[in-house]
């Protein structure tokens, strides 16, 4: 596996665990990959672009839409049905520089190598892999 991708996914999954306490490590790994895929599709390829979201007021549609995507993925993979818990986890995570940097690094790798078949073998999530197989 691409060492840089592996290390960044491990960091992102760790912080997901720290904030959600989800006991399913594989689901947290999938969640990190899925969030990075969302970042890549949305063009959040560096920490500055993600920090730009935080510059918006929490009542701004751009901020709300971004957080909704992250919180939804947390819900899907942690199976926590409490939407407020998922939302607050997303808000806490997005403020962690190391987490956002790891996801931005993953997104940049997906963007740069997403169509290469070697990368597809390194992605664990079926959802993310199938997204990139369409290219």
Q: Helix count (H) and strand count (E) of the chain?
A: 8, 0
| Average confidence score pLDDT of the chain | 93
> How does pLDDT run across 61-100, given as a tens digit for each residue?
999 999 999 999 999 999 999 999 999 999 999 999 999 9
Listed residue (134, 47, 31) closest to 90, CA to CA? 31
pLDDT in tens, 110-125: 998 865 777 888 899 9
CA–CA separation, 49 and 22 (whole Å): 28
Q: Which segment of 30-39, 62-71, 123-132 scores lowest on mean pLDDT?
A: 123-132
Write down the domain spans for the chain: 3-127
Q: State residue 120's pLDDT score.
A: 81
């Amino acid at each position: 596996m691409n060492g840089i991708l592996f290390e960044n996914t491990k960091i992102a999954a760790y912080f997901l665990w720290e904030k959600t306490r989800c006991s399913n490590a594989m689901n947290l790994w999938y969640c990190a990959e899925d969030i990075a895929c969302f970042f890549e599709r949305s063009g959040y390829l560096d920490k500055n672009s993600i920090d730009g979201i935080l510059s918006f007021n929490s009542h701004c549609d751009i901020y709300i839409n971004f957080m909704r995507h992250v919180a939804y993925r947390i819900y899907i993979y942690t199976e926590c049905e409490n939407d407020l818990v998922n939302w607050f986890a997303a808000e806490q995570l997005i403020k962690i520089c190391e987490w956002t940097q790891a996801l931005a690094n993953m997104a940049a790798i997906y963007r740069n190598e997403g169509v290469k078949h070697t990368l597809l073998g390194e992605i664990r999530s079926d959802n993310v892999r199938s997204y990139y197989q369409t290219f």
